[in-house]
């Protein structure tokens, strides 16, 4: 029985997909912040598609082992963003998960086109199915995982923008402890079964919705 959620022979594909998914996610944060007036990430070399600028090795390892993880947080100074600051901050934070949503949708579209219309050998079709399967799953996992309102994830950074400033400062005192509790949810199976697993079950309806949208778009042009 494998300790991982994938076949070990698929590890090279997994690594490639993880690197690309993390890179575009963090690039989305950095580029949006730069366009909205904050050059902090730009000066730190984060407005780039170079994966080495974005990889957090613990989060990278966690994604390999558990199926979800994170990259290096992009430095953002809200005071440098265009007004209204909170709206700009929400846009910067949301762009990371949005990039994973777009990547997953592109994967669904290309997979449907290639696997249904391209003349591929059985061997090549199997390889393409494997690649796009992981591409879609990992990007959807990152989308859903990052929307959890727990520090240091994007969902928390979005949620805190709707709180009064005093409440935000109070929560900052407990962020590190909340993170350790969150790790228990990740690594203790009974806790994960009633918290994270139901969240990741949303992949299926999202995927079906994407497939229907792609088919509808194809029907418009065929």
Q: Active-site residues: which are they? A: 26
Dist. CA 168–CA 172, nearest whole Å: 6
Report yes or no: 185 and 196 within 8 Å, Cβ to Cβ: yes
Report yes or no: 76 and 89 within 8 Å, Cβ to Cβ: yes
Alpha helix (H) residue ranges in 36-174: 40-43, 57-66, 85-117, 122-146, 154-159, 165-172
Looking at residue 73, the DSSP 8-state letter turns out to be P
Looking at residue 84, the DSSP 8-state letter turns out to be S
- Dig out the tokens for 104 from the structure: 């997953």
> Exposure string (b/e) for 162-174, b if CB count within 10 Å is 16 or more?
eeeeeeeeeeeee
- Dig out the tokens for 94 from the structure: 């949301």
């Amino acid at each position: 029985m494998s300790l991982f959620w994938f076949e070990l022979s698929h590890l090279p594909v997994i690594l490639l997909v993880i690197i690309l998914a993390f890179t575009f996610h963090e690039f989305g944060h950095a580029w949006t912040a730069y366009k909205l007036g904050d050059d902090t990430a730009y000066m730190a070399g984060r407005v780039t598609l170079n994966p080495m600028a974005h990889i957090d090795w613990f989060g990278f390892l966690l994604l390999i082992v558990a199926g979800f993880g994170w990259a290096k947080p992009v430095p953002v100074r809200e005071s440098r963003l265009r007004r209204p600051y909170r709206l700009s901050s929400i846009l910067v934070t949301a762009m990371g998960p949005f990039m994973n949503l777009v990547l997953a949708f592109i994967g669904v579209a290309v997979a449907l086109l290639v696997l249904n219309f391209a003349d591929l050998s059985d061997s090549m079709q199997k390889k393409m199915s494997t690649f796009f399967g992981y591409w879609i799953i990992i990007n959807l996992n990152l989308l859903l995982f990052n929307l959890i309102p727990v520090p240091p994830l994007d969902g928390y950074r979005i949620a805190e923008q709707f709180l009064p400033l005093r409440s935000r400062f109070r929560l900052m005192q407990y962020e590190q402890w909340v993170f350790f509790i969150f790790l228990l949810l990740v690594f203790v199976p009974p806790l994960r079964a009633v918290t994270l697993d139901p969240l990741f079950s949303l992949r299926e309806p999202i995927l079906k919705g994407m497939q229907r949208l792609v088919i509808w778009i194809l029907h418009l042009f065929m």
